[in-house]
Amino acid sequence: MSTTLEPTDRTRIRRGRNRAVADRTELHALLADALVAHLGVTVGDHPVVLPTAFAVDADGPDEGGTLYVHGSVGARWLQEAGDATVCVTVTELDGLVAGRSAFHHSMNYRSAVVIGRARVVTDPAERQHALDLIVDHMIPGRSATLRPSTRKELAATAVLAVPLHEASMKARAGGPVDEPEDVAAGIWGGHLPLTRVVGAPVVDHQTPAEVAVPDDVRARALHRA
C-alpha cells in the first residue's frame, strides 16, 4: 500500500490546500480515533447522509485498504449503496478558533473524505471479520469475549466495504490566522481545545451485582475516545 494519499480528480482538495494532508498514516490515525462516519448515498435524485459506526482493515481486500460499515439488511440506504459510488466522511473536531474578526473564526479539525464504489460483502469469513472489527473499533479486544453471532443475527446484518484508495484529508490546528491590522490593534486571539471524554462504565439493571466490569470495557473508559 502506498504511504501517501493519491487524490483523484474526485477527492483532490481545491480550496484550502494549505490544510491538505498527504500522509496515509495520518488518515489511518484519524480513522482510528473517530467513532462515527457520515456515509453519503444517492437515493433517487438527491444525496442522503447517515451517521454510522465503521471500522478499517488497512490490509483489507480493496485497493488502499477497506473501510467497513454495517446496517440492517432492510435499510434502504444500504440497498441503494450496493455497487454505487458513495462518499464516506470522517471528522474529528479538535477546537474552536477565536479569531480577531468574524472572517477568521474557524475550527480545528481532522477530516477525511473517501469516495469509492461500495461493495456488498457476501463472503461469510469477510463479513464476520468486518463485524468483529466494528465491535473492536468501539471497544478494543471486545469481539473475542463475546459469543459467536447466530445465523439469524448474521442474516439480519448487511456489511458494505468501501476502498480507501480515493481519499483526501484536511486538518487544521492551532490559533487564528488574522489580518495584520487586527493583530496590531492588540486584540486577543486564541483557541479553545475540544476533547471527547469516555466516562466510567454504567452497568445496566439486568447485570447481577457480583459480575465485575469486563477488562475491555474498563480499559476503554480509561482512554480518550
C-alpha span between 210 and 203 (Å, rounded): 12
Contact 217, 145 (CB under 8 A): no
Closest contact distance (angstroms) between CB of 1 and a copy of itself is 23
**Cβ 101 vs Cβ 67: under 8 Å:** no
What is d(CA 26, CA 207) in angstroms, rounded to the nearest whole number? 40
Asked whether position 196 contacts a copy of itself by CB under 8 A, the answer is: yes
Q: Which stretch binds a copy of itself (CB under 8 A): 19-27, 56-64, 79-87, 119-127?
A: 79-87
Which residue, 3 or 46, is less far from a copy of itself as judged by CB?
Answer: 46
Binding mask 89-128 for a copy of itself (x = CB under 8 A): x-x-x--x-x-xxxx-x-x-x-x-x-x-------------
**Do the bridges between strand 66-72 and strand 157-163 make them parallel or antiparallel, or are there none, so unpaired?**
antiparallel
Which one among 6, 22, 132, 171 touches a copy of itself, defined by CB under 8 A? 132
Q: Does 207 bind a copy of itself (CB under 8 A)?
A: yes
Q: Nearer Cβ to a copy of itself, position 88 or 164? A: 88
51 is a site residue for a copy of itself (CB under 8 A): yes
Helix (H, G, I), strand (E, B) or coil at 141: coil
Tell me how many residues contact a copy of itself (CB under 8 A). 98
Cell (9 digits) for 1: 500500500
Which of 2, 3, 122, 211 is in the footprint of a copy of itself by CB under 8 A? 211
**Cell numbers standing for residue 38:** 457520515
Query: ∠ CA 152-134-48 to the nearest 5 degrees?
Result: 90
Closest approach of Cβ 206 to a copy of itself, in Å?
A: 5
Told to check if 182 binds a copy of itself by CB under 8 A, we report yes
Residue from 3, 18, 45, 122 touching a copy of itself (CB under 8 A): that is: 45
Contacts of residue 30, Cβ cutoff 8 Å, sequence gap at least 6: 90, 92, 110, 111, 112, 169
